[in-house]
Amino acid sequence: MIKLLAILLLIITGILLSSLPWLSAISYMTVSVLQPQYVWFWSFENFPIFKITAILSILALLLMLAKGEVDKSIYRYKQHLAMLFLGVMVNVSDFLSPFQDYYAGVSSNIVIDTFNTILIMYFVLLGILQNTQALKYAAIAIIIITGYYIYWSNSAYLSQDWGKFFNGRLNGPPQSPYADGNSLAILFVCGMPFILFGIFYFKQIYLKVILAMLLPLLWHSLLLTSSRGAFLSAGISTLFCAFLLKSKKFNVALVSAFLIVVLTQGQAVINRSFDTFDKVEQAKTEDIVVNPRLVSWGIGLQLMSKYPLIGVGPQRFQQASLVHFPGESLHVAHNLLIAVAVDFGIPAGLCMISLFWAVRQRFKAMTFSESDEDNEDLMLIKFLRNSTAAGILGFFVGAIFLNLFIFEFFYFLIILNLSTYHLYQTYQNEQTPSASTT
C-alpha cells in the first residue's frame, strides 16, 4: 500500500513538474530525511525512490532555468564557497590520503558519495525553493516527518517492541542513517522547533492542539534514545525557543513541561549522566578514563597538527589513531568539527564552522516589528528563521559529541535558512534598494 501511494505521489509530482516544480524538491527532501526505504523496507526493496526524486528535482530546476524562473542571485552568497571547498576536500583528502580505505561504522566510499550528492542537491534545491509557498510546505513536510518518527518511537515503547532497543536505548530503523540512537535523537532535536513555533504560526486551532500534543511526545521519544548529547541539545534549543517567544506564561509552561517529562520519563539519561559524574570523582583519585570521547578529542587535536592541510582522509580517524597513538583509543572522533578537521584538513573544519557562523549572522540580520504581524509572508519568514536557527543550534550542540558530517537533515536546514534569508532580503530590497551577502 505504501509503495503504491509513493508511486502515485511521484506520478503527480512528475505531472506538475512545470507548474509546481517545488513539489519535486520537497519530495526529495522528504525521502532523504524520512528514509522510507528503511522504514518500510519490505515495500521499497529494489525501488530507487531516492534516485527518482533526485532526478525529478534536477529536471524541475532545468525547466525553471529554461523558462527564466530561477532567481540566480540566490547563488551569490559566500556560504556556497564553504560548501564547494568541503566538497573538494572530501575528494582530495581521499585521493591523497596516506592511509588505505578504512571502514569505521560507515565506509569512506559512502561518506564521499553521500556528501557529493548532498553538494549537488544543495545547489539544485536552492534554485527551486524560491517562494513562500515552497518554503511553507517544506516546513510542513519537516513537521510531518518528525511527527511520524514520534509515532514510530512511542509505538515501539507502548507495544514493547524491544527489538528496536539495544541495552535499553531506542535505535532507529536498521541500516538507516538513524540506526544509531544518537542520530535518531538529533532528528528529534532538529524537528522540535518547527513543532514548537508552529503552535504560534498556524492559525487553525486544531493544528495548534495537535502540535502542542506532539511536543511532550517528542521529548519522550528523545529520552527513549538515552542520548545525553541530544538531551543537552534539546534543553538548549528549548531555552533558545523560549527566549524568542517572549511569552512569560507560555515559557513557564514550556520549561515546566520539559522538566516534568525529563524527571518522570528520563531515568535512563539521568542515570547515565550521574555515572559520568561518578567517574569524574573517581578519576581524581584513580587513573581511569572519564569518557573515551575526551581521549578521542585529544588525539584528534594531535592528528590535526600532523595533517593540517588535507587531513588523513574520510573515515580514517581510527586508522590514523592506531598508527600514531597505538593502544590509546579505539574510538572515532565523536565530534563533528574535530572529525572534519582531522579527516579533510583544518581549512575544511573552519569551513564547517563558517556554516554555523553564517546562520548566526543571518539570524541577526532578519528583524521584525509588531506591524509585520499583519504581513503573512513576513510571519512565515519569521517562523522559518526561528525554526531553522533553533534546529541548527540544537544540531551544533549535539555535533559536539557526535560526528554528523553526512547528516542530511542539517543541510536541508541550511538550505531553508538561506532561502528564507534570501526572501527576506528580496522583500527588504523592494522597500530600500540595498543588499548584503552572508
Q: What is the pLDDT along the chain (438 residues), one digit of tens a residue?
A: 788 999 999 999 999 999 999 999 999 999 999 999 999 999 888 899 999 999 999 999 999 999 999 999 999 999 999 999 999 999 999 999 998 766 567 888 999 999 999 999 999 999 999 999 999 999 999 999 999 999 999 999 999 898 899 888 999 999 999 999 999 999 999 999 999 999 999 999 999 999 999 999 999 999 999 888 888 999 999 999 999 998 888 888 888 888 887 777 666 565 655 455 444 444 445 545 556 778 889 999 999 999 999 999 999 998 899 889 887 776 788 899 999 999 999 999 999 999 999 999 999 999 998 888 889 999 999 999 999 999 999 999 999 999 999 999 999 999 999 999 999 999 888 877 554 555
DSSP character at residue 331 = S
Q: Do 412 and 29 form a contact (C-beta atoms < 8 A)?
A: yes
Cα–Cα distance for residue pair 152/141, rounded to 1 Å: 16
Q: Residue 333 has what pLDDT?
A: 87
- Asked if residue 192 lies in contact with residue 394, where contact means CB atoms within 8 angstroms, the answer is yes
All residues at 6 or more sequence positions from 45 whose CB lies less than 8 Å from its CB, including other chains: none
The distance of Cα 99 from the centroid of its chain, to the nearest Å, equals: 30
Note the pTM of the prediction, 2 decimals: 0.92
Spatial separation of the C-alpha atoms in residues 31 and 133, rounded to whole Å = 20
Rounded Cα–Cα distance for residues 186 and 191 (Å): 8
Cα separation, 303 vs 386, whole angstroms: 37
- Grid coordinates standing for 320? 590514523
Residue 20 to residue 128: CA distance in whole angstroms: 10
What pLDDT is stored for residue 293 in this prediction?
Answer: 79
Rounded to 5°, the CA angle 174-212-359 comes to 70
247 DSSP assignment: -
3-state secondary structure of 171: coil
- Residue 284 confidence (pLDDT): 46
Residue 5: count other Cβ atoms within 10 Å of its Cβ. Answer: 10
Q: Do 351 and 78 meet the contact criterion of CB atoms below 8 Å apart? A: no
Task: Report whether 184 contacts 200 (CB < 8 A).
Answer: no
